[in-house]
Chains A and B, each alone.
Chain A
């Protein structure tokens, strides 16, 4: 799938800080998904967004599906050391009922200073 524009590429944050990252696309998506990947493991689904304008939380994580359907952001509040990892956004725009391919961002690497 096409590459999404994800920023920032990396960030160093202080424990306790809030973090924000976003993804943009030139195409419209019907679904936005946010994943976290730890070294040597597969991506783990954090939040799924299905409607334009939708704002969804999962603990300290909050994500929104942009009104234009071309962007999404993820916020992490009160960072802790276990938030370290690579965060990926993914978008899905089914062309048919059986096309579930995802387009991925390049990832945001988060490192927390204790």
Chain B
């Protein structure tokens, strides 16, 4: 199978600061990546679709100015949480389609805690 990595695995920051999370496809290229948010004991909530070479597509209710997405290359997408507040604390996970898009692999997730 394919491997997707995320960095960092966890981050603690002060309220008002910005945090960048990286998602990399290690052994395949991904023109599309997805960013999810997950609260404890809940399912994954899609935040946005990251598109290489073009703007990200955000799901309804997700603030695009709050969650900046940049798909800089065929193997890297970044999610920046700007001016983070405690309510942004969550588990953020990325995924990438593989082999024509019919299988998706997830990263290990990033735990964000905003103090």
User: Which of A's residues lie within 8 Å of B, judged by CB?
Assistant: 1, 3, 30-31, 33, 35, 40-45, 48, 50, 88, 90, 92, 94, 97-98, 100-102, 104-107, 109
A40 and B104: CB pair below 8 A? Answer: no
One of B12-20, B61-69, B71-79, B95-103 at the interface = B95-103
Whether the pair B109, A100 counts as a contact (CB closer than 8 A) is no
* Chain A residues whose CB sits within 8 angstroms of the CB of B93 once the complex forms: 42-43
- B interface SS class: strand
Which of chain B's residues have a CB closer than 8 A to the CB of A41?
108-109
Interface: B56 (CB within 8 A): no
Q: Does B111 contact A (CB under 8 A)?
A: yes
Residues of B within 8 A of A97 (CB): 101
